[in-house]
Amino acid sequence: MGRQAYLDKIAFGRSAFEPTRSASQSTEYVQLESSQSEIPRRYHEATANNYVQLYDERGNPINPRSHQYGKKLRGAQNDVLASVGVVERRYSHADAFPGSSVERLELLEAEDTVGNAIALATTLTENLCTWWIGSIRERILTFRYPHALAFSHIAASERALSGTSIVYAGFFSRVFATMNIQAIVYSTFVYQPVERVLYATRASPKTRHFFRRAKKAIKSSLRLGLEVLCYPFFYHAALQRLGLVPARPLLPNWTCLIPFSSSSPLLPFSVRYNASSSITDCIGAVLTSPLILLCAEHAIERWIYACVYEAVETAVIRPDKPDIPSRDANGKDRALTVLGLRRESPTLIRNAIHRLLAMLGWALPSSFPNTQQKRTIELATTAASNNGQTIEVGGTQVINATPLHLPVLQSQDQPVTEPLDADVITIPIDAFQDLIRSTTPPGSPTESEQNENDPRIRITSREGIVEMEVRLPPRILSTHTRVAEASGSSRDDAAVEPRDRARSIDGHVYHRVSQLSCEPAQMISAMVRAQLVGLAMLPFRMVTLRMIASHHLVSQGGYAGSHRIVNSLELHGDMSWRNIGTQLSRVALCGALELAIDLSLWGMQYQAITKFGQSVFGWGTL
């Protein structure tokens, strides 16, 4: 009952979440029946002399007016911080563009769905076209071929040995094991089973603290356990790619999954050393065990992939600064971070990759921002010397003032003259956001100091009243009418073609960054990452494959095939320059052939995405 209910709650300890039996009101207070009730009119008409206190349905005092003022104050503080470059404001999607926000999000989701479908189809096609090249490369790393045997003869002999199954041999088993490990690791991160068990059992603070400190160790143990559990699948996939076992069945026999059985690849632990003989033999058995080598190879591969991923993703040119961000824009990066496939790249690796991609034309040069900044300063200096003018701002004369020319205003036929003698200037927020979206805040403190077109803020206090004055460049202060006139030509052009309705709403063209538009850049990134990681993993992969092949041939008595002998790992083997050069040339030829196929697929994908986007989603010029 309003005030009485509030006093009863304080006096008798009634729950703050328990609604009162009935709502009441008087000349001093009003209690709302529910949270959806309208605020009485006399509350809005109340003054300081006849203030009316509001209570919610639970008897708690509320003040909607203070919430509104607090929201406005926080918005003003954020405007100030965003103007000086301290924070970056994320604009509201509903305010930035006309039309329904639901329609734009549905259109963006449609592009994301189509982009994901094209990405999946491209990935499957790429593996179908290049998987056999990887199989031949792994066989070249494992077996010893005559030096005089040409690469075409090696490919023909392996094709005759394995048949058409060389195209998919080992693919399903490897993908099955990899997806299971990643799904379990990600599900563990999402559902937090350890924390749930501790909460359900009401563990003590010491136990919680212990598990919190051992979180990394538990995660590493889980990863290692999953690697051991899925080891038969990786072992079977490696043997299929080497042609030592048939490509069918696609997955290993279920008896191989039983640890330490006669069919399990875990035994023998090592074919070179007996771990029970001595400590030296035990260490040698660990170092030559296919299980240990395969787990170490996967850990090193994840580390290299994580170091390369961030450098390649930030360097490759791609659509950025979306006007309408996707609902789960960071979902992929978050999943890769959880799986250990994404971290900050070292500076040396990042710079080397950036130079390589810039040389190929897939990334912007490193000196591009500095060059652009110097060019802007030179143009501003030249314009100031030719078209200098004197203006008066706040009683101070400014000599050689140069107006800021923005692309959105360059299409106007007549110059815009701003009133310089006005004491109060009204800034249209929508036009201001559209104009300074690409320039505020500055990228770095150095750029902010050197940019003369940044806003200037002056805060003064007079007799207890705080006043803030924001001074913006002359061309920034424009009205809705001028911005509409500047974009009027684009609206007329958009009305010509009906398909532009998908690209614009009410004639306003906006920039979308979707999975479909980013797919060509993502395929370039995937190709670069695959080549870099593959080159770095060649020595580790060679050792692991040779140990797996030797382990299979010794334990199972398998047949390697005609003219194929497994290379040894001893240093006193054939280490002549001719042998090394022949091996490197064959591996390089496999990599070049794989890269050529990937680039051909990328070209076809780019053409298909461009035509599909322009015809269905009304894209403009990419």
The confidence band for 363, taking pLDDT boundaries of 50, 70 and 90, is confident
Closest to 407 (Cα-Cα) out of 387, 368, 436, 386: 436
Nearest partner of 551 among 268, 220, 142, judged by Cα: 268
How confident is the prediction for the chain on average, in pLDDT?
73
Tell me the C-alpha distance between 195 and 211, whole Å.
9
Average pLDDT estimate for 15-28: 62
Q: Percent of the chain, pLDDT > 70?
A: 62
Q: Which pLDDT does position 125 carry in this prediction? A: 92
Query: Could you give the CA distance from residue 57 to residue 182 in angstroms, rounded to a whole number?
Result: 49
pLDDT given for residue 516 in this prediction: 87
Identify the CA nearest to 621 among candidates 500, 496, 495, 487.
Answer: 500
**pLDDT at residue 54, rounded to an integer:** 82
Under the banding of pLDDT at 50, 70 and 90, the label for residue 600 is: very high
Q: Which of 38-47, 60-69, 83-92, 317-326 has the lowest mean pLDDT?
A: 38-47
3-state secondary structure of 55: strand
- Measured distance CA(189)–CA(182) in Å, rounded: 11
**Quick one: residue 434, left, alpha or beta (phi over 0 = left, psi -120 to 50 = alpha)?**
alpha
Question: Residue 561 has what pLDDT?
Answer: 53
Write the burial class of residue 544 (CB in 10 Å: 0-12 exposed, 13-18 middle, 19+ buried). Answer: buried
Neighbours of 140 (CB within 10 A): 22
Task: Give the confidence band of 8 by pLDDT, cuts at 50, 70, 90.
Answer: low
- Record the tokens describing residue 333, joined without a space: 């990066």
Q: What is the DSSP string of 70-89?
A: HHHHHHHHHHHHHHTTSS--
pLDDT, one tens digit per residue, over 131-163 is: 999 999 999 888 888 888 888 888 888 888 888
pLDDT at 282: 84
Instruction: Give the pLDDT confidence score for residue 262 in this predicted structure.
Output: 77
Structure confidence at residue 597 (pLDDT): 94
**What pLDDT, on a 0 to 100 scale, did the predictor assign at position 48?**
59
Q: What is the pLDDT of residue 16?
A: 52
What is the C-alpha to C-alpha distance for residues 497 and 280, in angstroms, rounded to an integer?
78
Per-residue confidence (pLDDT) for residue 40, from 0 to 100: 73
Query: 191-231 pLDDT, tens per residue?
Result: 888 888 988 888 888 998 898 898 889 989 999 999 999 99
449 vs 257: CA distance, rounded Å: 65
pLDDT digit string, tens, across residues 409-448: 444 444 443 333 333 333 333 433 443 333 334 444 444 4
**Which residues are CB-contacts of 226 (< 8 A; sequence separation ≥ 6)?**
180, 181, 184, 185
pLDDT of residue 9: 63
Residue 384 has a pLDDT of 44
